[in-house]
């Protein structure tokens, strides 16, 4: 209502976003919805309106919805090793994130619907871009340090730590749901692995063997990435 978006336009836009997500085991539309839902929970529980303007909050929700749009189901490393069209266009550094941003902006600017307010369009896209770029796990520590540094803008720090928390939120949804998402991620990694093996002429890897190998890496991921993210979220919003 704050941005005068008609229900018809918004429904059509959401359907277009869904259509642009691929049916990957992990990086799919359901993941986008779960991330967006977690942003909503943070908005309600932590009162993001205290730290972000209405326009910035809208940009954060749009970033959550679009942060993995059109994901090919293969990592940035895969794109680089095979010199895919995506890598050729976006090059080194946040390859997939730049791709997601381009697809997201193309949909938002589609004349079939009116989603972006003309006066705030530029600011919304700029804020979205910064948030989506921060989901690059290869630059995870850089953004963690950025959010912890009080010399950086408080609004951007608030948005990025909220987004990073939401992107990992499947780990917080109870054992049953969390394990399903872990399995989905391992499935996607396995499909990439066997694709690499087949292209290199290597021996076939059984999925059960691969999942067994990945079990320890999940524990390491929680300790190295997830726990520090939620610790920073807690300390950051307590500080403000």
Give the active site residues.
27
**What's the full length of the chain, in residues?**
240
Greatest Cα pair distance in the chain: 57
Say if residues 18 and 29 touch (Cβ distance below 8 Å). Answer: yes
**Could you tell me where the DSSP H helices lie in 68-153?**
76-82, 85-90, 95-108, 121-133, 140-148
For residue 154, the SS3 value is: helix
What angle in degrees, to the nearest 10, is found between the helix axes of 140-148 and 154-167?
A: 140
Say if residues 164 and 229 touch (Cβ distance below 8 Å). Answer: yes
Which residues, 6+ apart, have CB-to-CB distance to 94 below 8 Å?
76, 133, 136, 138, 139
For 13-52, what is the HEC assignment?
HHHHHHHHCCCCCCCCHHHHHHHHHHHHHHHHHCCHHHCC
Q: Please name which of 102, 83, 105 lies closest in space to residue 91, comparing C-alpha atoms.
A: 83
């Amino acid at each position: 209502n704050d941005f005068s978006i008609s229900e018809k336009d918004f429904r059509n836009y959401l359907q277009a976003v869904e259509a642009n997500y691929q049916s990957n085991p992990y990086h799919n539309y359901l993941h986008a919805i779960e991330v967006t839902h977690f942003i909503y929970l943070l908005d309600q529980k932590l009162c993001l309106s205290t730290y972000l303007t209405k326009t910035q909050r809208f940009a954060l929700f749009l970033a959550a919805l679009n942060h993995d749009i059109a994901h090919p189901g293969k990592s940035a490393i895969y794109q680089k090793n095979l010199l895919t069209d995506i890598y050729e266009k976006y090059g080194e550094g946040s390859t997939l994130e730049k791709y997601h941003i381009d697809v997201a902006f193309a949909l938002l600017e589609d004349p079939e619907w009116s989603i972006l307010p003309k006066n705030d369009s530029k600011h919304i896209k700029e804020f979205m871009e910064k948030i989506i770029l921060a989901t690059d796990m290869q630059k995870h520590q850089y953004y963690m340090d950025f959010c912890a540094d009080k010399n950086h803008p408080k609004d951007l720090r608030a948005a990025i730590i909220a987004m990073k928390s939401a992107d990992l939120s499947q780990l917080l949804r109870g054992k049953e749901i969390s394990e399903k998402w872990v399995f989905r991620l391992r499935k996607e990694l396995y499909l990439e692995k066997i694709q690499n093996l087949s292209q290199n002429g290597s021996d076939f890897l059984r999925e059960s063997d691969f999942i067994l190998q990945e079990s320890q890496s999940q524990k390491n991921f929680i300790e190295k990435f997830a726990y520090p993210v939620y610790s920073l979220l807690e300390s950051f919003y307590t500080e403000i």
